[in-house]
Amino acid sequence: MEVVVKRSARRKKTISARMVGGVMEVLAPARISDAALAGHIQKLRSRLERRSYPKDDSHLHERAGLLNRKYFQGRLTWNSIRYSSNQEHRRGSCNCLARTILISSHLAHLPQWVEDYVIVHELAHLIEPNHGPRFKALVHRYPLAERAIGFLMASERLDKHSSS
């Protein structure tokens, strides 16, 4: 998410953020240091991301493009990536022949780094259709892979207990 900081001498204490044309605009006092502001920006970004749900298919396409460039050197191509509301037991799926990716709409309310992991997982299937060692090496290019897997496992356990 692109961030633009606007400082004001009239603003004394409060820091706020809003989305303007897809850019996070942070309004801050002129005197606050960059280091102090960085922590506030992270919290405000998380809050805005949670508020911006539900996400749409163009969001997925944008994230997949970013992740493709970052972890696959922009080599991958796909015909479509979209949310699916009828994936009860899967987080995502990839049809390697049709080069289409479906992401469970249930993921749209999770933190962006978790959804990014699932997108990276499905993008990796465009190179390696199985879950073997080469596939795992591709997925683990994403530095938060293990953390996201743990988050999803914990979420699953909570879901099972709450529905019992």
Looking at residue 52, its pLDDT comes to 56
Give dist(CA 160, CA 164) in Å, integer.
6
Give the per-residue pLDDT at 163.
43
Instruction: Give 111's pLDDT tier (boundaries 50, 70, 90).
Output: confident
Domains in the chain: boundaries:
3-51, 57-163
pLDDT attached to residue 92:
94
pTM (2 d.p.): 0.66
- Name the CATH code of domain 57-163 (choices 3.40.190.290, 3.30.2010.10, 3.30.420.40, 3.20.19.10): 3.30.2010.10
Q: What is the pLDDT of residues 139-153, one digit of tens each?
A: 999 999 999 999 999
> Which whole-number Å values give the CA distances from 31 to 4, 41, 115, in the listed order?
17, 15, 36
Contact between 62 and 119 (Cβ < 8 Å): no
Query: Is the CB of residue 74 less than 8 Å from the CB of residue 68?
Result: yes
Between 20-24, 26-30, 132-136, 139-143, the lowest mean confidence (pLDDT) is in 20-24
Q: With b meaning 16 or more CB within 10 Å and e meaning fewer, what string describes 97-115?
A: eeeebbbbebbbebebebb
Q: What is the pLDDT of residues 71-85, one digit of tens each?
A: 999 999 999 999 988
> What six digits make up the tokens of 79?
């015909």
Bridge partner list, 24: 3, 19
